[in-house]
Structure 1
């Protein structure tokens, strides 16, 4: 597959948002429990790591804001708001289907 076809497929599967992630942190980020842990914990390479990150997110007071941030800006890596990359893709797909 050439680069153009690859980009077209990627855009179809994950339509780009019209918004770029902000350069600065958001006010709610200061309240995230993740701030007390190593950043790498939220970018795991296996399911066990995802579960560990989810446990921290489960108690987080800004879990909803974090998840929506990742969904809005199409962040494809890491655990955000207690959701994995796969879960966020599913949420976005379900939202697209519900909107049609």
Structure 2
């Protein structure tokens, strides 16, 4: 099973998770990160790095967030989403968005 980036990441985009990933399986969009499930080795190193608890194991995902399994798969294979290996600053309003729920409509795919 792979790990999945869920809704909490939208509009925050903390990237510490990407910098610790031994497989470099994170991909970056305008306001969200995803994990390529075919590259993830299920090591869980990234989980503890996310300050908004946006990364979960696919087998343990909340049913309300289950659509993020396919979102991660699709966007990690979109050529506009680039591999990210280093930490960057979070988005400017990350603190405002960190506790907000129901942010899927804010997801920018390009």
Whether the TM-score (by the shorter chain) exceeds 0.5 is: no
The structure with more helix, counted as a fraction of residues: 1
The TM-score, its normalising length taken from structure 2, stands at 0.27
